[in-house]
Structure 1
Amino acid sequence: MENFKTVNPSDIQIGENLIELADIEANSGHLIKEEIVTSTVGSNKYVYTEGDVLFAKLRPYLRKVLIAPNDGVCTTELLPIKGINTNNNFLYYVFLSDLFFNQIKREMHGVNLPRVSPTKLGELIIPLPPLSEQSRIAAKIAQLFALLRKVETSTQQYAKLQTLLKSKVLDLAMRGKLVKQDPNDEPASVLLKKIKAEKQELIKEKKIKKTKPLPPITDDEKPFDIPDSWEWVRLGDVSLITTGNTPSKNNLIFYGGNLSFIKPADIQNMAINYDTDEFLSKEGEEKGRIAHKGDILITCIGNLGRNNVLNKKAAYNQQINNISPLILNSEILHFFMLSNFFISSMYRLASATTLPILNKSKLASMFVPLPPLNEQQRIIKQILKILRGISND
């Protein structure tokens, strides 16, 4: 490799090609944008010629490698490498390899932004086949990479199709179109009366506090038609909703506790991570918010609406609300709250800030359709059957 040539700012002409670190896409060798010098340059630049391999020498950007498409100058975060009797396409792939990457990591210096010096770069060891074989290797890698890109594109398209299909399944379920209605099922209006009676009993036993009744849902507010045996309800009418909190550090222990302390990142739509980095101590259980098996934890700050049903007791922080369904099946609420209808409704109700926030009161006011209890079971069974089929394809 030849010495790196720098050029003073006064010698750089307006109209020259200029490549900066931000212009190169990591891992792909793709030039995001081509620039030209349009005004006086304020620092030295490296000179490169068409075909040189431009290599980012800063640690966060080591995978930024580009074969120069023209002559020009580049910022000094990039090193133009001129191979001597080597195929530059071959060098490009070598510089992207783990063999090269691992060597560079050992030779980096600096604390805030580690980098490799041109001298150390020149001392690194690379395999060097005969020139004609370098060309064949580079051509084969390019062919395989092109095939991988096609596979990745197909995989992404398939993932999008899966998402659309899941969304359609949940939409059909919410509208009462996923399974047939059974006229022998006890209607949801009767279930709703039982839920109200259950809530009154909990108030009487002083297990919960009496709250102001939620306003009835008018016909104009109902977003779509549902079967006659169903009812539109507000989430707070059919469940108890509590916002989490974060106990003091004295009440938290790290790793190996019995009661997981759940944070938003631990909640995914098909799983909850109980193996967190924080747990509540025995003393902390008295001060933390505790959710139980069958409760639903839902994120209400930032990325709204991620939710899942707990399969064991856990604590949760203030960015999460806990929904405890009354009588009805937890999973039916879980699936309905994953629907595009419900998620989009959350964002519409959320506070208009950079970070969307939906408080407990607004969450309680949200609409959900309520099927008869027996039909809830049939809907859940059908959803799970379809989702398993989608995942196994």
Structure 2
Amino acid sequence: MELLEQHFDTAFSAPEGIQKLRELILTLAMQGKLVPQNPNDLPASELLKEIDAEKKRLVKAGKIKTPKHLPESIFGEVPYVLPQGWQWVRLGSIGNIFNGNSINASEKESKYAGAEGLPYIATKDVGYGFDPLDYENGICIPLNEAKFRVAHQGAVLICAEGGSAGKKCGLTDRDICFGNKLFANELYGHIPSRFILYTYLSPVFRASFAAAMTGIIGGVSIAKFVEILLPLPPLEEQHRIVARIDQLMACCDALEKLRADQKAKRLAVHAAALSQLLDTTGGGSANDAWAFITQYFGDLYAVKENIAELRKAILQLAVMGKLVPQYSNDAPASELLKEIETEKKRLVKEGKIKILKPLPEIKPEEIPYALPLGWAWARLQDVLDVRDGTHDSPRDAIGPNTYPLITSKNFVNGGVDFANARQISAEDHFEIIKRSRVERLDILFSMIGGNIGNQIIVEEDREFSIKNVALFKYYNKSFTQPYFIKRFMEHLAIDLQQKAAGGAQPFVSLGFLRNLVIGLPPQLEQQRITSKIDQLMGLCDTLEQRIAAATCKKTELLNAVMAEV
């Protein structure tokens, strides 16, 4: 217990600290170190004699079958020495253990759904120890169905097969029928059910259960389960242990709530500060918000969620013209748009781009906020040459004269994964690039699916085709700074992904992208914005690295504490 108190702060602050604290409590309990021993308690050996006598009475009365003989020798199986008065026992020696009955899906629905009788508990209705069983699942077994085994009130259930084997367990507070993947343990000798439940949840028991598992699905047979060893204290001490664990687990629950409340408050305060910072109505003070964030920087950015929100805010400030100061001697964006329009006409005349139908004028309701002096609103197609790749499915090809076909699945870590791309024939490739030839510094943008909005900037000179992705090209790279456009697209992606979450297959059309309204800064300011974003994103990277390092250190310290037990 001194160890618990000494490293309380570590357990509280480490990511899995409270879960580790629960495990430590159970480990100490199973080692006899959680509550003091009382020499006046009847030893476990006497309890076992009473249990043997009880089993003989139950067999004679026909209430249980004669228990199978369990191995007596425990030599080489005992993981540690127990206190005086305790004893290692086989699980099957202290309780009547049996599994339930299976019901096929059609029979369950047609015969037992809505019936009257005993609740039928399947694996899905069992929690992970502290949760009550779900008795209100709508499935009941009539009392006259004699083929169903009944687990009585106070039985301890545990899942014995599948992904939840050894993890899901719980107590019955009423008589039930139950599934064949569950084992029920009806205890002898007035052993408290809650003590066995805590035993099932303890690391020492779970290690023994895992060692007994076999098969591809993973499970433990009853024959193996009843042979698992567990430490048995005197009966009076079992009750003291249960009371102490209940008390400490309630403390852990309170700690988890406190930590969750602290995190929620930190997130809410940060969200409020960012909201004021991004306020477009003029109702809040951006300077006050920045001052608040600066004053409480260390506390606000101790959680990764706030850093993720900070990244979004940086991009939002950038596209609103609030990230860097404006200079009056910068050539305004209106002049830049005229130069782009002149360049477009030249490219059309040379046959390098096609004439597109005029875009509609920007309506007042499309303007989300006021732009700084020198900026201008424009359609994306007025600023960039917006195209897309093929929507056909060219056949795979092999051999030297082939080319990669890139989709959004090949966007990996900010670059193109050519190694895992499909290859297509030269004939198909040259047909596709007639409309969408990709060049260095072009931007590829995912238009469909769960990764909608993911984008990469092409950093190498290499021939490849694209499919189902948008392609943003430049009328002239000296007019629109590629890395500023990339940052604008990252901001756009956040909005698209939030709108697409939870819906049907998300999709943005080429027309939608071409008609997007963009706030265009002067050319020189684009460069200043890009530099500032890079600087601030680098700070975010550093903050995340510090959190990861601190988390790792706390986890290592906590594991070292656990190793001392």
Shorter-chain TM range is: 0.7 to 0.9
In the TM superposition, residue 115 of structure 1 has moved relative to its aligned partner by 6.0
- How far did residue 78 of structure 1 move? 3.9
Equivalent residue of 2:98, what SS? coil
CA distance in 1: counterparts of 2:419 and 2:263, whole angstroms: 30
Give the alignment partner of residue 169 of structure 1, picking from 298, 314, 333.
314
Out of 248, 257, 278, the residue aligned to residue 421 of structure 2 is: 278
Instruction: Confirm or deny: 8 A CA contact 1:174 1:369 kept in the other structure.
Output: yes
Instruction: Please tell me whether the aligned partners of residues 410 and 421 of structure 2 are also in contact (alpha carbons under 8 angstroms).
Output: no
Tell me which residue corresponds to 1:305: 453
Deviations 1:56-89 (A, max 9, x none): 6234x44751332634436426413539788432
User: How many angstroms does 1:309 deviate by?
Assistant: 1.9
- Contact preservation (8 Å) 1:296, 1:334: yes
- Distance across 1 between alignment mates of 2:438 and 2:317: 30
Alpha-carbon distance between aligned partners in 2 of 1:167 and 1:128, rounded to the nearest angstrom: 53
Flag the 1:176–1:146 CA change in 2: closer, same or farther, 3 A: same
Displacement of 1:229 after TM fit? 0.5
- The count of residues paired between Structure 1 and Structure 2 equals 375
Identify which of 323, 336, 346 aligns with 2:488.
Answer: 336
Whole-angstrom CA distance in 1 between matches of 2:346 and 2:121: 72
Any conservation in 2 of the 1:57–1:77 contact (CA below 8 Å)? no
For 1:21, the equivalent position in structure 2 comes to 123
Q: What's the secondary structure of 1:291's corresponding residue?
A: coil
Gaps in structure 1 of 5+ consecutive residues? 109-113
Consecutive unaligned residues in structure 2, runs of 5 or more:
1-91, 104-110, 268-302, 544-565
Percent of paired sites with the same residue: 22
Partner in structure 2 of residue 241 of structure 1: 386
Work out the CA distance in 1 between the residues paired with 2:466 and 2:167. 39
Partner of 2:512: 362
> Equivalent residue for 1:183?
328
What's 1:263 paired with?
407
Q: For the residues of structure 2 that align with 1:74 and 1:276, how far apart are their CA atoms?
A: 55
Whether contact under 8 Å (2:150, 2:176) holds in the other structure is yes
User: CA offset at residue 177 of structure 1?
Assistant: 0.9
Change (3 A) 1:264 1:234: same
* Aligned CA distance change for structure 1 residues 295 and 118 (closer, same or farther; 3 Å): same
Query: Could you tell me which residue of structure 1 aligns to residue 197 of structure 2?
Result: 88
Structure 2 residue identity aligned to 1:367: V
One-letter amino acid of the structure 2 residue matched with residue 263 of structure 1: T
Indicate if the aligned counterparts of 1:298 and 1:322 stay in contact, CA closer than 8 A: yes
Alpha-carbon contact 1:166-1:387 (below 8 Å) kept: yes
CA RMSD for the aligned pairs? 4.6
Aligned counterparts, 1:206-217, within 5 A: 206-217=351-362
Cα distance per residue 1:12-49 (max 9 Å; x no partner):
99475554333456xx5563873337564499766445
SS in structure 2 of the partner of residue 169 of structure 1? helix
Q: How many Å apart are 1:188 and its aligned residue?
A: 0.9
Deviations 1:208-258 (CA, angstroms, capped at 9, x unpaired)? 2221121121334312100120111111111122223364342379xx999
* Cross-structure match for 1:250: 396
Whether 1:375 aligns to 2:525 is yes
Cα distance, 1:382–1:243 mapped onto 2, change above 3 Å = same
- Aligned-partner Cα distance in 1 for 2:522–2:336: 7
Find the partner of 2:156 among 52, 63, 88: 52
> What TM-score, normalized to structure 2?
0.54
| Aligned pairs (5 A) from 1:118-197 | 118-119=221-222, 122=225, 128=230, 158-197=303-342
| 1:70 correspondence with 2:178 | no
Q: CA deviation at 1:295?
A: 1.8
Q: Flag the structure with more relative contact order, 1 or 2, with Cα contacts below 8 A and sequence separation at least 6.
A: 2
Distance 1:174 1:145, change over 3 A: same
Say which one has the larger Rg: 2
Where 1:186 maps in the other structure, the secondary structure is coil
Checking the alignment, whether the CA contact within 8 Å between 1:15 and 1:36 is kept in structure 2 is no
Is contact 1:53–1:92 with CA below 8 Å preserved after alignment? no
